[in-house]
A and B are shown apart, each in its own frame.
Chain A
């Protein structure tokens, strides 16, 4: 019923539009230019966002997330066996392994970030690749070093594979006096460079770490392997839903997105100024059109149209302007985006520097279906808003005066 009415109005309006093709086309062009500007500039922003995110995905271990204890609403959420069970139950979690985090210092005061892992369960979670040596033997005082920290220790302390890393662990005696206990870890492996936090850590056996800590069986975090990069943010939400904090390479994507949201918004805003001109063109065209048809509108009312009918008829005409403007705008926008890609890329790549050298052989603009839908929606919404004033003006015409004096 409602749809039927809508079609009726659109059919009637189609005749009016068809009669003034040139005028409608030119008005639609005004909107189209604004839409094209928005689509083109946003496609640039989206393209850069896409490339940056792809670069992060390429360079880092995106599917590795660490869930850590967090204070939520005053209550600390601990990593309990029950919590680990809940984490494992999150869809797309392929593997998980609880860890203990510690900070040690070597005898020569090199600070070491230590992760106590379960040598049996850690393989699936962090997928370690060894530059040298092999993995930890369960229950033993052995250490595997991340790439960067291994280099540091070798350079400044001369520690090599097979050597013992001397660690001082500070304890306090009965009188509260600090006592440093020396513990030696045999270096059994060095990880390949990963470009993430694991380059900086020393991995030791989890049981050993807990024992050195004083025997409490608590965990500080859970390393989680997600089965697919696309599922990462879903798993992050799941972790947050359990009251825990999530950390990992995905955070870089989050910050890129935050930045690009602002950039895209600003770009779209400036491009959108062109839309104001288009909107004013519609107002002008429709006011003229209503004025020219004063008598016709009066007669329409005399034969039974209500003011609301008149409003819908005028808005239906505007809808065509919006539709035509949206289609042309999207097409021009795609062309504009292509032009940015062809002529603007060398310039932009030069500005971004080496980090984003991957951009050189990629598209720096990205047209998504959503962007085209947005362009269409802007054109339609704007045409309807612009048509409101002429439509109301038409509906307020007094039919008697309109018929008596109208042209």
Chain B
């Protein structure tokens, strides 16, 4: 299987004191559906941010789709986020002033797509996540689960290789959590998008291809 994410000797320290990551090494294959497990404070968010080019490691290397990420090149990092990565966060993910449809379109605005193409693509993805009828609703008019589905559609709109999700089900009840999880799994199967999902719920880890577990900044399994 082709490797799409490779972390090599990643270290991250905040203010030269807090060690968030300690010599992290792993590889994820194309199309894999992986859970990143670990207690709160174990460095999961830090790792995800580095993989998505939002944050830079103190040392070590990241390879996305065979290419080394140059953390000093801001333009390249922006291009990486626009073209290769889709982000989903825990909650309050969406822009409150925009409707579901507009939220999904939003990343394409920075990708210089034509308005008509943006609209069509956003509508398609809203349909994929089962929210075609909520296109013109604002985030505050939707349930937490619906909001996360919009966030998934938004993460997918740029047709990324990888979706990085930081506790996407953290604030949801267990039924909704399962729905969201199933939705991501379905997208992963249908589109072969690679998923790396942060969760601290071990039980969810069982429903993935594979788990990576962090403990105090190091990979333990």
A residues in contact (CB < 8 Å) with B: 4-5, 8, 12, 15-16, 18-19, 295-296, 299-306, 309, 399-400, 403-404
B45 within 8 A of A: yes
Q: Please tell me if the beta carbons of B52 and A12 are within 8 angstroms of each other in the complex.
A: no
Nearest B residue to A13 via CB reads: B97
Indicate the member of B82, B102, B110 with the most A CB atoms within 10 Å: B110
- Chosen A-B contacts, 11 in total, with CB atoms closer than 8 Å, are A4-B115, A12-B98, A15-B95, A16-B97, A299-B87, A302-B87, A302-B89, A303-B87, A304-B82, A306-B110, A309-B109
| 0 or 1 for each of B84-112: is its CB under 8 Å from A? (1 = yes) | 00110100110111100010001101111
Report A-chain residues with C-beta under 8 Å of the C-beta of B154.
Answer: 303
Judge whether A295 and B102 touch: CB under 8 Å: no
Q: Does B179 contact A (CB under 8 A)?
A: no
Which residues of chain B come closer than 8 Å to A404, judged between CB atoms? Answer: 45
Q: Report the count of interface residues on B (CB-CB < 8 A).
A: 30
- Nearest-neighbour CB distance to chain B for A405, whole angstroms, equals 12
Q: Which residue of A lies closest to B111 (CB)?
A: A304
Q: Nearest Cβ in chain A — how far from B167, in angstroms?
A: 12
Which chain B residues in 125-139 approach chain A with CB under 8 Å?
none
What 5 pairs across the A-B complex have the smallest Cβ distances? A304-B82, A15-B97, A304-B110, A303-B107, A19-B97
List the count of A-B residue pairs having beta carbons below 8 Å apart.
60
Additional A-B contact list (19), CB under 8 Å, known A299-B95, A304-B78, A304-B158: A4-B115, A5-B112, A8-B109, A12-B98, A12-B106, A18-B97, A300-B106, A302-B81, A302-B89, A303-B86, A303-B155, A304-B82, A304-B110, A305-B110, A306-B78, A306-B110, A399-B54, A400-B55, A404-B45
A304 with B115: CB separation less than 8 A: no
In the complex, what distance in Å separates the CA atom of A296 from the CA atom of B106? 12
Assess the B96–A302 pair: CB atoms within 8 A: no
Chain A residues near B112: list those with CB within 8 A: 5
A12 contacts B109, C-beta separation under 8 Å: yes
Q: Is B49 an interface residue (CB 8 A)?
A: yes
Q: CB-CB < 8 A to A302: which residues of B?
A: 52, 54, 81, 87, 89
Residues on A with C-beta less than 8 A from B155 are 303
Q: State the Cβ distance, B104 to closest chain A Cβ, in Å.
A: 10
Please, how many angstroms separate the alpha-carbon atoms of A19 and B111 in the complex?
25
| Identity of the chain A residue whose Cβ is nearest the Cβ of B108 in the assembled complex | A304
- In chain B between 16 and 72, which residues have their CB closer than 8 angstroms to a CB of chain A? 45, 49, 52, 54-55
Residue of A nearest to B102 (CB): A15
- A306 cross-chain contacts in B, Cβ below 8 A: 75, 78, 110
> B96 touching A400 by the CB < 8 A rule?
no
Question: Which residue of chain A has its CB nearest to the CB of B50?
Answer: A400
A4 contact set on B, CB distance < 8 A: 114-115
In the bound complex, what is the Cα–Cα distance between A16 and B138 (angstroms)? 12
Complex Cα distance A8/B96, Å? 18
CA distance A145 to B33 in the complex (A): 109
Contact A304 B107 (CB under 8 A): yes
